[in-house]
Structure 1
Amino acid sequence: MSSIFIIIAGILWGIISVFVTTLKSIGFSSMEVVALRVIFSAIILVIYLLVTDRSKLKIKLKDIPLFCGTGICSIVFFNFCYFQSIEIIGGAAIPALLLYTAPIFVMFMSLFLFKENITVKKVISLLVTILGMCFLTGVFSGKETITLEGFLYGLGAGFGYALYSIFGKLLLKKYDSMTITTYTFVVASVAVIPFSGIIKDYNLMLNTESLLWSLGLALVCTILPFILYTKGLLKVEAGKASILATVEPFVAAIIGVTVFSESITVEKIIGMVLILFAIVLLNINIRKAK
């Protein structure tokens, strides 16, 4: 069931383009959309816990650095690096591929921090996932050029993305998943507001259409998937969880074709099949005959 939670989280993250595209068409910049995402998520989560279970809002001061890990080092940092990489490279294909180097970082960090084994099945699944991402993002057929700066920002996005699994795993030893998710976005909000530019566009933010889409972005593509992903980490190794979550670009490709009328190519189909194969392979129990 824990693996299913993580896959559902990946699916919900995969439909985020619908909300982001709409908010950007209203007039928000990319970083302002990030700010809207974390601010509305933080507000909703705090209100929910105030009404249902205030005990989950209690944390120890000594654990604040860990919440800074999930909120700033992961959520804010990976978004910043990701958008910088897109701006420098001038396209989303290679940055998206570099973002999904996260399982590599998670797997090796987990080896030293949690003593998780790197099995043959994990390595094969990881390699197939990377190959699938290459097909899905059009790297093999694309003509993008990439600078060292853009490449490093892309890797930074992957590293930041990976840190949520690491810090989340550490926090789960002490707190409920709701507590972790709530304070992750509270810390992220405090960190992102000053440089996002959202303050000068507060009138646009209070527009009815903006409020509705921001609430949808917070509830459907942020709060629910993060809670499910964090719950999944209770019984799933961080390395495995990170690979399972790569169902996200698979879903994003489907959304692109069905909602935004993007062309479906043989390359995209191959990429989807490879990622799906990696997820299935990761969940098959291969038993040795006695």
Structure 2
Amino acid sequence: MKKARLLIIVAAICWGTIPVFYHIMSAAGLNSMQTITMRFSFAALGYVLYLLIRDRSLLRIKRPRHLLYFVGTGLCSLAFFNFCYITCIRHAGVAVAALLLYTAPAFVLLMSAALFREKLTGRGLLSLVMTVLGCAFVAGAFSGKGLTMTPAALLWGLGSGFGYALYSIFGKYALRHYGAETITAYTAVFAALATFPLSEPARLIRLAANPSVLLSALGCAVVGTVFAYLLYTAGLSKVPAGQASILSTVEPVVATILGVLLLKETMTIHKLCGIALVLGAIVVLNLQKSSEAS
């Protein structure tokens, strides 16, 4: 269990590097949907080729209806939540979008209780509250700068959180029949297929000739997608979906720290409070597991 939780935390650290890669690709002229498409396309192509060389049996689908699991993880989760997230940013800015995205643990806890009979413990609920507050601090909700929240922004933001949560739910079902490698490969394939038509393909192909774009897309695909989702899915096989979702909120903490170190963003007392709350929520979860073990 400890190893599985560590895998999820490392996966979240990998996700936290994504804004750095996105920053480089955006500077080269790609819009948000194009950066996402590049990420998923490189991940899908690279991982499928890798499995074809290493063990093509891992790409075998046992039953046609099992494709619905990967439609769920790739299209309904990754593609859907990224589209909602980008739209929410256009309506209300990054801070509000980031705050609403991390309503995902609440959705996961509720759906896991209903679908998988996972228990809602006092410590689990406390860690959830700490996580939501921590993400709110990181997003700047309490900075006094007057974050706007229109009905459209709220709906798109909650949609991103719900879509983000669906990976943990569909992933749990898929893990009953497939390993983490198969799930990660097909998730990337369906996410790429869903986002490519929305990315202005002709313009994207021209911009992709830029070496900095290619290298950034490759890094984002390997570190922020294949490696991250492989680790998260492996950890998800041993950790309840609700706890996995809370552990993954290390991502905005890492993104904030890298933003300060590499992108020269400012560190504020609100961000420090948010980091402390998110890390504290992870400690609470670990205490919960320790008490159960004893």
State the alpha-carbon separation in 2 of the partners of residues 247 and 118 from structure 1: 21
State the alpha-carbon separation in 2 of the partners of residues 81 and 44 from structure 1: 26
* Residue 250 (structure 1) aligned to one of 250, 253, 263: 253
State the alpha-carbon separation in 1 of the partners of residues 291 and 22 from structure 2: 44
- Residue in 2 that maps onto 1:238: 241
* Residue 61 (structure 1) aligned to one of 64, 75, 84: 64
1:153 equivalent to 2:145? Answer no
Identity among equivalent positions (%) equals: 47
State the alpha-carbon separation in 2 of the partners of residues 237 and 198 from structure 1: 39
Q: Single out whichever of 260-269 and 279-288 deviates more from structure 2.
A: 279-288
1:95 equivalent to 2:97? Answer yes
Q: CA deviation at 1:259?
A: 1.0
State the alpha-carbon separation in 1 of the partners of residues 213 and 269 from structure 2: 37
* Residue 204 (structure 2) aligned to one of 201, 204, 210: 201
- Residue in 1 that maps onto 2:184: 181
Q: CA deviation at 1:257?
A: 1.1
1:112 equivalent to 2:114? Answer yes
Structure 1 residues 137, 49: closer, same or farther in 2, change over 3 A? same
1:164 equivalent to 2:167? Answer yes
* Gapped regions of structure 1 (runs ≥ 5): none
Kindly provide the amino acid, as one letter, of the partner of residue 74 in structure 2: G
Q: CA deviation at 1:244?
A: 0.1
Moved over 6 A (4+): none
Alignment of 1:1-290 (within 5 A): 1-59=3-61, 60-89=63-92, 91-141=93-143, 142-284=145-287, 285-287=289-291
State the alpha-carbon separation in 2 of the partners of residues 64 and 199 from structure 1: 29
TM-score by length of 2: 0.96
Kindly provide the amino acid, as one letter, of the partner of residue 192 in structure 1: T
Kindly provide the amino acid, as one letter, of the partner of residue 279 in structure 2: L
Instruction: Please state whether the residue corresponding to 1:200 is helix, strand or coil.
Output: helix
State the alpha-carbon separation in 2 of the partners of residues 254 and 287 from structure 1: 31
* C-alpha contact (below 8 Å) 1:35/1:198 kept by paired residues: no
State the alpha-carbon separation in 2 of the partners of residues 286 and 217 from structure 1: 35
Q: CA deviation at 1:286?
A: 4.8
Kindly provide the amino acid, as one letter, of the partner of residue 216 in structure 2: W
State the alpha-carbon separation in 2 of the partners of residues 234 and 201 from structure 1: 36
Instruction: Deviation per CA, 1:24-66: give whole Å up to 9, x if none.
Output: 1011000000100110000001000000010001012111111
Q: CA deviation at 1:192?
A: 1.2
Instruction: Deviation per CA, 1:207-233: give whole Å up to 9, x if none.
Output: 322211111110011110100000001
Instruction: Please state whether the residue corresponding to 1:117 is helix, strand or coil.
Output: coil
* C-alpha contact (below 8 Å) 2:24/2:212 kept by paired residues: no
Instruction: Deviation per CA, 1:73-112: give whole Å up to 9, x if none.
Output: 00000000000000011x1111101000000000010011
